Structure 1
Amino acid sequence: MTEPFWQRKSLAEMTEAEWESLCDRCGRCCLHKIEDIDTGEILFTNVVCALFDLTGGRCTQYRIRRQLVPDCLDLKEGLPPLHWLPQTCAYRLLAEGKPLPGWHPLVSGDPETVHEAGISIRSFAIPETEVEDVHDHVVEGLR
């Protein structure tokens, strides 16, 4: 049996379809993050970009998101500093030489396992349009 593409190809070697399929639709990368100026630590909040569809688990304006949100990460332009990506992110895991977890839809074969495993932001995220100060929404332990 042939190894899955993510085990035999580097991120740079993947087709666009393979690359896009790595996204598990958890939404963690779309959460607002704050960098602690003193320690450099990245603090995750429960505040999600207004373009993110919590039900569908994807950006509603994916193709033009960088024009609408200039500081949105574009992984295809080369991985950004990995510390900005969630520790559960497939792109980060593969770049670090780690395997995809069992709950990842490519491994489980089921797009719901990311939600069942509690990785998805679906149950706790708040759209940025409903928040006054993102600093009030830091979530301890979320990485």
Structure 2
Amino acid sequence: MSGDPIRRDGLAPRFWERKKLTDLNPQEWEALCDGCGKCCLNKLEDEETGEVALTRVACRLFDDTTCRCAQYPIRHQFVPECIVMKPSNIDQHAYWMPETCAYKRLYEGKSLPDWHPLLTGTPESVHEAGVSMRHRTVAEFEVSDEDWEDHIIEEPLGDRP
């Protein structure tokens, strides 16, 4: 969800187990991001069923190596439709978030997966678990909208859900 590596120092241990999502401060909220990059993927929503499919077609600002937005602080200048996930709108947007997403998992009453950086202490754990989109995307300007269906990916990625 951010462009810079998450600062986790100064956070209470396992804060996400003692606080509701709506009570998290900005640093805690940002720290929940595992850095997988899936929120930056273009999605397809079935109008009849509401089912959401992830594609490997990434936002034009997505950096496939870092799994971060290359212009996070000013992304709305380039991508006005980019949704800012925050405690006050998680109930409106959790449905389209990836199954492995900490925000969605906690919203649904689930625990963080064992590879989550808050549990492992290293941001590399999401990549080592094979859950991130590192080196797995195509840029949206390389694929026409009508061909996105050819790039649908199965969730969750990785060896462990």
- Report the TM-score, using the length of structure 1 for normalisation: 0.89
Question: Residue 89 of structure 2 aligns to which amino acid in structure 1?
Answer: G
Deviation at 1:17, TM superposition (A): 1.1
Aligned residues: 141
State how far apart, in whole Å, the 2-side matches of 1:119 and 1:108 are: 14
In 1, Cα distance between the equivalents of 2:141 and 2:23? 38
For the pair 1:124 / 2:136, whether they are aligned, the reply is: yes
Distance 1:8 1:47 in 2: 36
- Aligned-residue offset at 1:65: 2.0
Does 2:31 align with 1:21?
yes
Write out aligned runs for 1:39-58 (5 A): 39-58=49-68
Structure 2 gaps of 5+ residues are 1-11, 157-161
Greater relative contact order (Cα 8 A, min sep 6): structure 1 or 2?
1
Secondary structure of 1:136's partner? helix
What CA distance in whole angstroms lies between the structure 2 residues aligned with 1:55 and 1:100?
24
Please say if 1:98 is aligned against 2:120: no
- What CA distance in whole angstroms lies between the structure 1 residues aligned with 2:20 and 2:75? 25
Distance (whole Å) between structure 2 residues aligned to residue 61 and residue 21 of structure 1: 18
Question: 1:57: Cα distance to partner?
Answer: 1.6
* Structure 1 runs of 4+ with >6 Å offset: none
What residue ranges of structure 1 are gaps of 5+ in the alignment?
none
Q: Matched residues in 2 for 1:25 and 1:31: separation? A: 13
CA distance in 2 between counterparts of 1:96 and 1:39 reads 20
Say what the alpha-carbon RMSD is for the aligned residues.
1.7
Match of 1:8 among 18, 21, 25: 18
